[in-house]
Amino acid sequence: MFKLIKNGNIVSDVWKTLTFAEGDTPQNIRLPVGPVLVPLSVWKARRAELIHREYEHGWPLGVWLAAEESADEIGRDIDDFTVIAVEFDKFADGKSYSTARTLREHYGFRGELRAIGDVPRSNVTYQYQVGFDSFAVRTNQKVSSVLSGLFNLKAANQHHTQHATLAG
């Protein structure tokens, strides 16, 4: 279960993040009712069904990329997603940051870009700078701490912008 920080506010998360249980495969995993974030493997296996479901019921569709998966794997499908989540793994080499930047700058994704997985306060500033606008915070984390990291960044950016304007 996650708490969600979106655009600097703590909000209810209406999205169901689909994960695999034992015995599940991309082809047989049960899709929940409503807005759903599916793993890349489910998107690849059931693309037509997911698009049909979105249009038939009006349920928004999202995809989540594991830390080792590339933005290029969904680049041609960007317009099909309302939300793209990118997983952060505490052992990852920073690939998730470049994935976010690629989604925003190369593919022009303008929807919600969500950081999931290991989202500690110390990383929120970097995640925000590369284009993330929402952060799924695990229940064992203090959401107020993560949120304060985001506000500290926004305050620093605002101060820097005001200083540059006065100096210019």
Which pTM was predicted? Answer: 0.83
Beta pairing, strands 16-17 & 36-39: parallel
Answer yes or no: is pLDDT of 125 > 50. Answer: yes
- Nearest in space to 124 (alpha carbons), one of 104, 145, 103: 145
Q: What is the DSSP letter of 76?
A: G
- What is the band of 11 on the pLDDT scale with cuts at 50, 70, 90? confident
Q: In this structure, which amino acid lies at residue 130?
A: V
Instruction: Answer whether 120's CB lies under 8 Å from 141's CB.
Output: yes
Average pLDDT of span 95-103:
92
Q: Give all domains of the chain, ordered by start, each with its CATH number.
A: 2-167 (3.20.20.70)
Average pLDDT of span 50-68:
94
